[in-house]
Structure 1
Amino acid sequence: MTEQEPIHRHFIIYKPYGVLSQFGSNDSKQQSKKFLGLLHDFPEGIMPIGRLDEKSEGLLLLTTDGKMSDFVNSQKVDKEYYAQVNGDITREAITQLSKGVEIGFDGKKYQTKPCKVFKLDAIPELPIRSQKIRDDRHGPTSWISIILNEGKFRQVRKMTSSVGFPTLRLVRVRVGNIHLSNMQVGDVVEVLDLI
């Protein structure tokens, strides 16, 4: 008799702004923080695939399958982000971002890999963020799409800052073939498979 493969569970969520991409902590410094467990009663052994920092929002995949997590985190799967940046981003800055820029990571300098970057023609239709972003009285903003297949800590924010256009809002809209589509902030959808 062969041993049966465990049945894994997978979820797609729209991580809200201000929620950490992890499950509870006993760390006293994090007692006031919000965790993913507030959104749904997830099964035991669930883990986020990659992370979105506390101030970032959008598509986050969760699974009980470690192999699936490793595959999605590998550099074979694209992740697309929409970033609202401070200022009217220039063609030069977009070219620099797409060729790769130097950012700080773990106390060292890191050269990001070439990626796809373009300016969005219109403001994307996204749910309103819970915390207000400064308005246009403080100067123009612009939206860009950045498609990466790596994911260092706060990478997109560090990249846009390095070319002089700090990120004001960051939303992950796609991982591989999975899109945020019409999901609303805090939505949790269980799916049969992720990839």
Structure 2
Amino acid sequence: MADFTEVLRGRRMVRNYREDPVPEEVIERIVAVVRRAPSAGFSQGHRIVVVTDPVKRAELAAVAEPWYLEHGHAPWISRAPVQIVIGVREASYHERYTEADKIESGGGEEIPWPVPFWWFDSGALFTLIQLAAANEGLASGLYSPAFPDELAALSAIAGLADDVALTAVVTVGYPADEPADRAAKLAKRRKPIDDLVTWLR
């Protein structure tokens, strides 16, 4: 296991993979984080689909990759040997928050959800998957189409249930060589910590 600081340093978006397959036991360790991912009230609404089948991976790429190719990017979705479809079942949250203990603490009715925590928790799961991949020496990326018909197509390919919303797809694999100046370019764009963190001492 790597030191957490090194794992965190390895967490970055990658759009260039080698086509080497990832051992199944490694993938199993990565996706096992779903059981430790945050979910409001322990609703456990996370759902993920691991796609390693070459035909299914190609189908996912055929939906999502054309935009990148049209904008000058090299193929990357189609090259990733693993795609992890992240879904969330909103109903799990409503079911949990209409159980007796939650209704009693909520004044007799379900909370109004000013923050839809199913989306919040789905983003947290994505970060855990990225960190788990980095811990295995792997790279990861993310895509999620902006158009409802494309999102529906990805959901259908992945076989998600009708009550599960697809939030994003994580690409995972061994990173291919990146441009030598990429890290330097990103470092220049990184905002100072004081722009991002406010202290109320």
Q: Is TM-score (shorter-chain normalized) higher than 0.5?
A: no
Please give the TM-score of this superposition, normalised by the length of structure 1.
0.30
| Structure showing greater Rg | 2
Q: In proportion to residue count, which structure has more helix? A: 2
| Richer in strand (by share) | 1
